[in-house]
Amino acid sequence: GHIVRNWKVRWFVLLQDKLLYYKIEGGKKEPSPKGRILLDGCTITCPCLEYENRPLLIKLKTKTNTDYFLECCSREERDSWALDITGAIHAGHPVQVQELHRMKNSFKLLENISLHHIVERMCDSSTGIKLTRNLEQGNRYKETFTGSALVDWLISNSFAVSRFEAVTLASMLMEENFIKPVGARSTEATRYSDLSEQFLDDSTALYMFAESSKKKSSSKEELQFNISELRGTIVKQGFLVKQGHKRKNWKVRRFVLRADPAFLHYYDPTKEENRPVGGFSLRGCLVSALEDNGVPAGVKGNVQGNLFKIITKDDIHYYIQASSKAERAQWIEAIKPLT
């Protein structure tokens, strides 16, 4: 927000020359936009690291020097929005847009690696990465490590087989706010380098653990999601209302449907942590629409129809409400081929 600096869920629509945003009420967007961002003369920063606890930000600065901070629910969503917004800003310069697509396609996620597991290993007092004091431009930094030291550590611990893979993985750790750049050398790279060059494999670039990374990696209650789950192509995403498993109340969630591998994850848009609060594999699932006359068995609370149900292969039932019959049909149609 511009007046009260809080964060609110908004539905965004990208047009050729502007970005419209709408309020969400009860899982539905209001008919009239709440505001607009004119893209002519805009500059975009992605990823934006101005908020330490919000690594999935896009920053837009208009030609009148108004700053907009837009937070996404996943790395894939953020990069996709940034690419499309940049394409709209530079619509008259197709060469620049082609270069952006090339950069995005060159950044590949690795399979079957948990970032939480890597950070736990990095923090190990005996086998983890060695933390040292460093002096840079008169500033003394405690408990830091260099970019090249992290690359060496990732390779020596078999998390990567090449320096390119290790740099890619280190970039992911930085984007997910497990580590952060400190000092002029590494911080400058995050501000002015291309996305694929944000992390430096350099003995003069300093990094350290983010303040909350150790707490995140050791939390027993936090859901663990492997990168293999989140690396799939996003097929569909949007806001739906989901019934809780314990309290049976209904809450707005941001759903992201991925293919290859087929997973459905959902995010809490009110939380600062930009990680899924739940998700499941779609292999072996059953998905079906529920009748709108009456309250179906298993459903509690005040519902307004447009319900559908997903039953996982472990016989866990998810009740989800769309904003319209058409939207429900679209979600079912997108999910069925992935089961």
Per-residue model confidence as pLDDT tens digits over 270-329: 765 667 888 899 999 999 988 765 556 566 665 667 889 999 988 888 999 888 888 999
Q: Distance of CA 118 to CAs 111, 129, 172, 194, Å?
A: 13, 11, 11, 25
Percent of the chain with pLDDT over 70: 77
Region at 261 (left for phi over 0; alpha for psi -120 to 50; beta for the rest): beta
CATH number for the domain that contains residue 128? 1.10.10.10
In this structure, the answer to whether residues 96 and 137 fall within a common structural domain is: no
What pLDDT is attached to residue 113? 64
The answer to whether residue 220 sits within a structural domain is no
What pLDDT is attached to residue 109? 44
> pTM surpassing 0.85?
no
In the chain, the amino acid numbered 262 is: A
What pLDDT is attached to residue 298? 60
The answer to whether residue 151 sits within a structural domain is yes
- 91-100, 195-204, 261-270: range with lowest mean pLDDT: 91-100
Segment 48-67 mean pLDDT: 81
Domain limits at 87? Answer: 10-105
- The answer to whether the bond into 337 is cis (omega within 30° of 0) is no
Tell me the pLDDT tens digit for each residue of 245-270: 766 778 888 899 999 889 999 988 77
Give me the residue label for tokens 């049976």: 248
- The answer to whether the bond into 55 is cis (omega within 30° of 0) is no
In this structure, the answer to whether residues 264 and 324 fall within a common structural domain is: yes
- Three-class secondary structure of residue 230 per DSSP: helix
Region at 292 (left for phi over 0; alpha for psi -120 to 50; beta for the rest): alpha
The answer to whether residue 249 sits within a structural domain is yes
Out of 105, 126, 153, pick the residue that ends a domain: 105
Distance CA 189, CA 187 (A): 5
In this structure, the answer to whether residues 20 and 62 fall within a common structural domain is: yes
The answer to whether residue 214 sits within a structural domain is no
132 vs 263, higher pLDDT: 263
The answer to whether residue 292 sits within a structural domain is yes
Out of 41, 74, 105, pick the residue that ends a domain: 105
Confidence band, pLDDT 50/70/90 cuts, at residue 218: very low
- Three-class secondary structure of residue 95 per DSSP: helix
Residues in Cβ contact with 229 at an 8 Å cutoff, skipping those fewer than 6 apart: 258, 261, 263, 265, 279, 281
CB 299 within 8 A of CB 4: no
Is residue 190 over pLDDT 80?
no
In this structure, the answer to whether residues 94 and 123 fall within a common structural domain is: no
Quote the strand ranges of the chain, DSSP E.
Answer: 10-14, 18-25, 28-29, 35-38, 43-48, 57-61, 67-71, 132-136, 139-146, 179-182, 206-209, 233-243, 250-259, 263-267, 278-281, 286-289, 307-311, 317-321
Residues in Cβ contact with 46 at an 8 Å cutoff, skipping those fewer than 6 apart: 57, 58, 59, 78, 79, 82, 195
In this structure, the answer to whether residues 237 and 331 fall within a common structural domain is: yes
In this structure, the answer to whether residues 93 and 131 fall within a common structural domain is: no
The answer to whether residue 1 sits within a structural domain is no
In this structure, the answer to whether residues 257 and 305 fall within a common structural domain is: yes
In this structure, the answer to whether residues 202 and 276 fall within a common structural domain is: no
What pLDDT is attached to residue 335? 95
Distance CA 145, CA 135 (A): 12
CB 253 within 8 A of CB 241: yes
Out of 54, 79, 105, pick the residue that ends a domain: 105
Q: DSSP letter for 25, please.
A: E
The answer to whether residue 77 sits within a structural domain is yes
Tokens encoding 9: 């869920």
In this structure, the answer to whether residues 239 and 328 fall within a common structural domain is: yes
The answer to whether residue 221 sits within a structural domain is no
What pLDDT is attached to residue 287? 93
In this structure, the answer to whether residues 100 and 16 fall within a common structural domain is: yes
What pLDDT is attached to residue 196? 52
CB 129 within 8 A of CB 121: no
In this structure, the answer to whether residues 36 and 126 fall within a common structural domain is: no
Helices H / strands E in the chain, number of each: 9, 18
Split into its structural domains, the chain has a count of 3
In this structure, the answer to whether residues 231 and 318 fall within a common structural domain is: yes
Q: How many residues comprise the chain?
A: 339
Tell me the pLDDT tens digit for each residue of 136-189: 655 677 789 989 889 889 988 888 877 877 888 888 888 777 888 888 888 888
Tokens encoding 83: 């690419």
CATH number for the domain that contains residue 255? 2.30.29.30
